[in-house]
Chain A
Amino acid sequence: MRGVNVTAMRDASFLVVEDVNWSVAAGEFWVVGGQEHSGKSDLLMLAAGLMPPGSGSCKLFGGDPGSFGEAEPTERRRVGLVFQGGQLFSQLTVAENIALPLRYHKNLTATDAAAEVKSLLDLMELAPLADVTPANVAANWRQRAALARALILKPEILLLDDPLAGLGARHRQWWLRFLDQLARGHGQPGGQPVTIVVTVDDLHPWKSERRKFALLHEKKFAALGSWNQVETSDHSGVKELLAVHLETTI
């Protein structure tokens, strides 16, 4: 992103982040921290090509993500997006949700897609919930189903909007471990390392030297670097985020 102004997804006239200059290399794992309403989700939607930048230039795989779809359908499949809360299709079962992108893009019948769906259901421990509709599935498992749906097309880049929000401790551990495996290329069938960008409102669970950190604060984007640099940062936004964790821990 070069000089990108991010506007709100629901109101294009409302500027949420100014002048973002940021590049993500293949295989990197970025954690973008920010308070509520700091524009994390909007930044992610823009990165995924779901909305245009207010100004500036945004490139993905060297191309304009806004043209992904009809013009470059294969490019679209290289990016996976997991929404906060999952946003599964309420009329479909968990298994149908996971199968849909694969069936649509490869023109498969439900039977043809069954094997791949089953392997992902097993990997995510979702097999017992395969035939249940999302409304009857707990939020912890809905989020996993959303991850499975994003992974079925074997994306090279995975964008996740606050994936740990509202999850229980056991599920949070599972997510952290699983995303690490994905970043190393062990998590998904095919074994390719995945470039990952997550947005979070609590940096602590993501503490790792292998990850890179960035911050959204008062409409500004700041790439911080490694966890060491986060801990030693004088940035008031970083201190606020770290302090929030201390308060909730106490």
Chain B
Amino acid sequence: MAGFYAAGVRGNLARTFELTNTQLFRRAPLPRSYTDFLGRKLFLFLLTVQGLGAFALITLGVILKKSGVAKNVIRPRIRQEIARAGVALLPMFSFVALALGFLVIGQTVSVLAKVGAISYLGSTMVIVVVRELGPLLTAVLVLARVGTANVIELGTARALGEVEALEALGIDPVHYLIVPRVIGMALGIFSLTVYLIIGALASGYLFAFLQDVPMTPGDYFKQITESLGWLDFALLALKTIAFGFFIAVVTCYHGLAQPLRLEDVSRVAVRAVTQGVIVCVLIDALFIVLYLVA
């Protein structure tokens, strides 16, 4: 039996199934004692972490192993996903950049100017916008807009037997359905974060300027560029790509890796978004530690 699953197109998903029998566990009767309840929750959490970890490793393996396979099919799908998780969201992110500039930067600049601490502007902006708000806000918005769609699309495909149809045609579902979404979302979140940061910094100065803050554009951007180090650029890239990768993995895992019925799809979508937010916060915390260490 193990040998049967070990190779072949189906192997990727099958290995995940073996690790993720959480559905059965969830449907078991509720335990009576509080400690049993807590134990069950903990066990479910560990099973989910194990399943997600396995799915992430399988996806990474397929990305590396099949980078040259069916390029004429996979590359257009990656472009589609970049458009969906990046280009299509530009209007929304323009609005968010304006709002972020007004709500955070404009007010911060104004307050710093009033207390005479305008020289801290650059470092404040870099910490608030470049390191924290920009990447995290982008990740959460993409999770809400594209991640939810991922779960619903894949969950429906799974429930309607389209995944079995792919396997019957010898097409690896992880390669065809997951890899484009993971790459598209990673690149989409990276690009949108850069766009959001630039837009927010520019609109922030605009609002500060409208409040008569005594600062030239040159001084403003000089302070920001002086506060930015190579580490900020490197960690920003790593962080946003990690956000994209893990959001895609979480949403695809819930949509594809678990046996689903149509009525399960909406419930699973909610769970995927919740777990996606938790994963983003955990990654963010990890990068804060990295910043502190570095």
**Which residues of chain A have a CB within 8 Å of any CB of chain B?**
9-10, 45, 48-50, 52, 64, 66-71, 73, 76-77, 81, 83, 85, 87-91, 100-101, 103-105, 107-109, 112, 149-150, 153
Contacts and interface: CB of A to CB of B under 8 A. Distances in A.
A70 B65 CA distance: 11
B71 interface: yes
Contacts of A64: 4
29 contacts: A48-B168, A50-B164, A50-B167, A50-B168, A52-B1, A66-B3, A66-B4, A66-B5, A69-B7, A69-B10, A69-B11, A69-B167, A69-B170, A70-B7, A77-B170, A83-B161, A87-B162, A87-B164, A88-B165, A90-B156, A91-B153, A100-B73, A101-B170, A103-B73, A104-B170, A105-B70, A105-B170, A150-B169, A153-B169
A107 B162 contact: no
Interface string B149-177: 00001001100111011111111100010
Nearest to B24: A11
Most buried by B among A64, A69, A112, A149: A69
Contact of B7 (A9, A45, A71, A109): A71
B72 interface: yes
Given A69-B10, A87-B161, A100-B169, 15 more contacts: A49-B8, A50-B10, A67-B4, A69-B7, A70-B8, A76-B170, A83-B164, A87-B160, A89-B157, A89-B162, A90-B162, A100-B73, A103-B70, A107-B70, A150-B169
Question: 7 tightest CB-CB pairs across the interface, nearest first?
Answer: A69-B9, A69-B8, A76-B170, A66-B4, A52-B4, A81-B168, A87-B165
Contacts of A49: 8, 10
A67 B72 contact: no
Given A103-B73, A104-B171, A105-B170, A67 B8 contact: yes
Contacts of B4: 52, 64, 66-67
B31 interface: no
Contacts of A70: 7-9, 11, 172
B39 interface: no
A248 to B, nearest CB: 27
Contacts of B5: 52, 66
Contacts of A85: 161
Interface in B192-235: none
Contacts of A52: 1, 4-5
Contacts of B153: 91
A107 B73 contact: yes
Contacts of A50: 10, 164, 167-168
B243 to A, nearest CB: 25
B67 to A, nearest CB: 13
Contacts of B70: 103-105, 107
A66 B7 CA distance: 7
A101 B169 contact: yes
A225 to B, nearest CB: 29
A10 B73 CA distance: 30
Contacts of A69: 7-11, 167, 170, 172
Contacts of A149: 169
Nearest to B171: A104
A146 B70 CA distance: 21
B213 to A, nearest CB: 50
A66 B8 contact: yes
A105 to B, nearest CB: 7
Given A10-B259, A69-B10, A71-B8, A101 B171 contact: yes
Nearest to B165: A87
B264 to A, nearest CB: 13
B91 to A, nearest CB: 24
A90 B4 CA distance: 30
Nearest to B168: A81
Given A87-B164, A89-B165, A90-B156, A67 B73 contact: no
Nearest to B169: A101
Contacts of B156: 90
Contacts of B69: 107
Contacts of A105: 70, 170
B9 A76 contact: yes
A229 B8 CA distance: 39
Interface string B125-144: 00000000000000000000
Contacts of A153: 169
A147 to B, nearest CB: 13
